[in-house]
Amino acid sequence: MKTRLTIAILTALTPLLAGSALAATPVPTPAPNAADRMFAEYFRLETERLAASSLADGKTLRDWTDRRGQYREELFEMLGLSPRPAKTDLQPTITGRVEHAEFFVEKLHFQSLPGLYVTALLYVPKNLTGRAPAILYGCGHADVKDGKTSLGNKTGYQHHGEWFARHGYVCLAIDTIQLGELQGVHHGTRRFGQFWWNSRGYTPAGVEAWNGIRALDYLQSRPEVDPEKIGMTGRSGGGAYTWYTAALDERIKVAVPVAGITDLHNHVVDGTVKGHCDCMFMVNTYRWDYAKLAALLAPRPLLIANSDKDTIFPLDGVLRVHGAVARLYALHNASEKLGLLITEGPHKDTQDLQVPAFRWFNRWLKGTDPLITVAAEKLFEPKQLRVFPVGAEPKDERTTKIHETFVPMATPALPADAAAWAQQRTAWMQALREKSFRGWPAAKEPLALGRRDRTGDVETWDFITQGPIRLPLTVHRPSNRAPVKRVLLYVLDRAEPTPVSPAATVETAIVHFFPRGLGSTTSALTAADQNEVRRRYQLLGQTADGMRVWDIRRAVAALRTHPLFGDTPIQLVGTHDQAINALYASLFIDGLASVELVAPPASHMTGPDYLNVLRFLDIPQAAAMSAERQPVKWSQSNREAWSWTTQVAKKLGWAPDRLQW
């Protein structure tokens, strides 16, 4: 079973063009090593823990209704939408119109935020005699181009809007930022290594959800639309945005997300995260499984649609989500409002999925169930449906770079006095515990420190940092066998000589330590597959570096139980990125003698990523908090990058030894 699990989590999956990732040529995947198997087991256990707790506090209907508002606020936050952006003027602009015998299509754009342009198509039936029900359609990943010009994925999904309009619905189909006419980015961590998205608390799922919310504002402004009868659907990426938008906004009365959700077990343990870009996932600060997201739609009419051979939304995970949500609908006495549609086939937009979705909207928005005799067909050339004339794209657009500004980054001011500093420090520590490091274990396990090897004055010990993860400590005892009067704990980023040679020390023990995923626990996988392992942490409400901070805390605790050291003062030295992880660890460790940062980055934009940290503070502010607790020394670092830290020390009159260069 463990072998099967390891293969499932670590085998490279071929991304699917029709799904949430771009097509790629499969490459051979190296066999997993012992470290990979250890982390596979870790991910399995963490996933099981989250799955068990996700809806555990909703045993009665009252339990759920009392907490539903809190959960929705948590979701807003995990999508980068707390506090809410201002609902500024949409500035809707119609750029053209296309005619059909039964309906017309308005080509339009609106701004969900100033400069955040959303290109869209509005399908309106002809000869309406009153307000009609409306459908918001979220498009999946369809890359439709005329040469190098993007026509928007709305043109690839035009047949859905056309069917709705031919059957008496107004339908607004909106482009995504990834594959719209103004092309933004869905692949920050997946393809471009922009893990600072985690530190900013940014996910493109938040942009797509916000664009959906503002699209509802636009639909309700149209005189053709009955504002109390709005549904939403979409497939693949559009299915995911249907989940998010409908969970946040109850103006969506009926929802049919198609191939847009599964559970953490599929994503993390089975490895389907590899088939998805970042737009599918929230920043999982509150450590949800996806059934909790789905539950926020109850008791509104909801049809969960999927196919049985979908490799990026596997059937077993879809069934688990449905089972969890079905229990909540039963508590509402609304089981008839929850449907499950499973068709035969792969991840593909098929008629088998379309027709039941159309019937579901007829049933719950119109109260009818006529025979479906007209298929969903593409009736226009994609070029006819482009909103912006080529070369006339707006100069003030922010869509292509919205990831840089969508979630504001904190710009901390210098404290006015010691009292203001104390208040700010307390708030930052609370934010770190609750928003960045919430994924740390709630209870400390036994360290189980044990010696594994000894060669002369060098000993190898290891300890449990978390669950199945054991990490080694390499201890260099003083060569003269003198009593140890200080311990230098080097937290290493890579295999390199330390600034102090162990042979040259007197009465000093030197300890080398690599946190998880480094040193002896480095993965044997390809760089691309290691990137996917890193993304798994975020799905579990962690980051790899955030858990390395935990490892450093545990390493210090282990040394304090070492038989040679006892209460010997420990000086913590970190190199490169691990310098920053050591710095943050020092905020949660009492009694360190000092902290030294060797060649550290000065911002989370270029250094280690922790969930949401840049919404509150950056590395110079953490350095100030550490320096208040013990001396902090910088080596191989530009002093100007730490001016905020030095100004605080000067303003508050700290002793000169607090900051050393």
The three-state (H, E, C) secondary structure of 16-38, written as one string: CCCCECCCCCCCCCCCCCHHHHH
What CA–CA distance (Å, rounded) separates 211 from 87?
11
- Same domain? For 440 and 370 the reply is no
- 465 and 337, same structural domain? no
Q: Kindly state whether residue 35 falls inside one of the protein's structural domains.
A: no
Percentage with pLDDT > 70 across the chain: 94
Mean pLDDT, the chain, integer: 93
Same domain (yes/no): 335, 425:
no
- 341/234 Cα distance (integer angstroms): 14
pLDDT, tens digit (0-9, with 9 covering 90-100), for 130-142: 999 999 999 999 9
DSSP state of 121: E
Question: Is residue 474 predicted with pLDDT exceeding 90?
Answer: yes
Nearest C-alpha neighbor of 228 from the set 209, 250, 246, 206 = 250
What pLDDT sits at residue 14? 30
Task: List beta partners, residue 488.
Answer: 510, 571
- CA-to-CA distance for 501 and 455, rounded, in angstroms? 17
Task: For the chain, give the percent of residues with pLDDT over 90.
Answer: 88
**In a domain? residue 54:** no
Dihedrals phi, psi of 392, to nearest 5 degrees: -110, 20
Position 57 scores a pLDDT of 83
**Over 80: is that where the pLDDT of 108 sits?**
yes
353, 375, 404: which is the final residue of a domain?
Answer: 404
With 50 as the cut, is the pLDDT of residue 362 above it?
yes
CB neighbour list of residue 511: distance below 8 Å, 6 or more residues apart? 473, 474, 475, 476, 487, 488, 489, 490, 559
Q: What is the 3-state secondary structure (H, E, C) of 46-70?
A: HHHHHHHHCCCCCCCHHHHHHHHHH
Last residue of a domain, one of 344, 378, 404: 404
**What six digits make up the tokens of 613?**
């940290």
Helices 577-586 and 544-559 pack at an angle, to 10 degrees, of: 60
pLDDT value at 21 more than 60: no
Residues 419 and 641: their CA atoms lie apart, in Å, by 26
Question: In terms of domains, do 267 and 391 share one?
Answer: yes
Mean pLDDT computed over 74-101? 98
- How much is the average pLDDT of 525-534? 95
Amino acid at 571: Q
Instruction: Identify whether residues 166 and 113 lie together within a single domain.
Output: yes
| Tokens of residue 166, six digits | 């031919």
Q: Are residues 431 and 387 in the same domain?
A: no
Length of the chain counted residue by residue = 661
The token duo for 563 is 């038989």
Residue range 614-630, pLDDT digits in tens: 999 999 999 999 999 99
Q: Is the peptide bond before 299 cis (omega within 30 degrees of 0)?
A: yes
HSE of 571, CA atoms in CB hemisphere, 13 A: 16
Work out the burial of residue 591: count CB atoms within 10 Å of its CB; fewer than 13 is exposed, 13-18 middle, 19 or more buried.
exposed
Of residues 127, 313, 143, the one with CA closest to residue 236: 313
Which of the four pLDDT bands, split at 50, 70 and 90, describes residue 425?
very high
**What is the H or E stretch that residue 419 is in?**
helix 418-431
Q: Is 410 a member of any domain? A: no
Determine the pLDDT at residue 4: 35
Mean of pLDDT values over 17-45: 71
Rounded mean pLDDT of 43-69? 93
In this structure, are 260 and 399 located in the same domain?
yes
With beta carbons less than 8 A apart as the criterion, state whether 490 and 498 touch. Answer: yes
C-alpha–C-alpha distance, residues 369 and 372, integer Å: 9
Strand partners, 466: 469
Q: What is the identity of the amino acid at 656?
A: P
Written as six digits, the tokens of 557 are 């605790």
- Cα 556 from Cα 167, distance rounded (Å): 67
pLDDT at 497 over 90: no
The gap from C-alpha 527 to its chain's centroid, in whole angstroms, comes to 20
- Note the pLDDT tens digit of each residue in 166-189: 999 999 999 999 999 999 999 999
Count of domains for the chain: 2
> Same structural domain for residues 591 and 454?
yes
Q: Determine the average pLDDT of the residues in 242-254.
A: 98
For residues 650 and 236, the answer to whether their CB atoms sit within 8 Å is no
Whether residue 504 has pLDDT greater than 80: no
Q: Which tokens is 345 given?
A: 């086939």
Average pLDDT over residues 525-546: 96
Helices 2-10 and 34-53 cross at an angle (nearest 10°) of 90
Q: DSSP string spanning 448-459? A: --EEEEEETTEE
Instruction: Mark whether 316 and 358 lie in a shared domain.
Output: yes
| DSSP-assigned letter for residue 265 | I
Q: Across the strands, what pairs with 135?
A: 171, 231
Q: CA 10, CA 37: separation in Å to the nearest integer? A: 9
How far, in whole angstroms, is CA 316 from its chain's centroid? Answer: 23
Are 156 and 142 contacting, i.e. CB atoms less than 8 angstroms apart? yes
At 283, which CATH number? 3.40.50.1820
CB proximity list for 621: less than 8 A, separation 6 or greater: 412, 428, 644, 645
Residue 422 shares a structural domain with residue 446: yes
458 and 541 part of one domain: yes
Predicted confidence (pLDDT) at residue 3 exceeds the cutoff of 50: no
pTM (2 d.p.): 0.93
Look up the domain containing 628 and give its range: 418-493+506-518+535-654
More confident residue, 97 or 456: 97
Extract the runs of DSSP E, i.e. beta strands, from 576-654: 594-598, 632-635
Q: Would you call the peptide bond into 415 cis, given omega within 30 degrees of 0 as the criterion?
A: no
Is 289 within the bounds of a domain? yes
Using the structure block, give the residue that is written with the tokens 């809190």. Answer: 70
pLDDT bracket for residue 29 (50, 70, 90): low
Residue type, 626: S
Which carries the bigger pLDDT value, residue 638 or residue 499?
638
Q: Which of 357, 382, 404 is the last residue of a domain?
A: 404
Residues whose CB falls within 8 Å of the CB of residue 475, separated by 6 or more in sequence, listed in order: 458, 459, 460, 461, 509, 510, 511, 562, 564
Are the C-beta atoms of 198 and 610 separated by less than 8 Å? yes
Mean pLDDT within 231-240 = 98
Using DSSP, state whether 637 is helix, strand or coil.
coil
Least confident of 149-163, 465-479, 543-557: 465-479
Q: For residue 334, what pLDDT is reported?
A: 98
| 349 and 422 co-located in one domain | no
Whole-angstrom distance, CA of residue 630 vs CA of residue 343:
62
Q: Is the dihedral of CA 24, 28, 34, 40 positive or negative?
A: positive
Give Cα 100 to chain centroid, integer Å: 42
- Listed in order, strand segments (DSSP E) in 317-449 are 338-343
Residues 547/563, Cβ–Cβ less than 8 Å:
no
- Give SS3 for 228: strand
| Alpha-carbon separation of residue 425 from 197, 414, 481, 486 (angstroms) | 24, 12, 42, 29
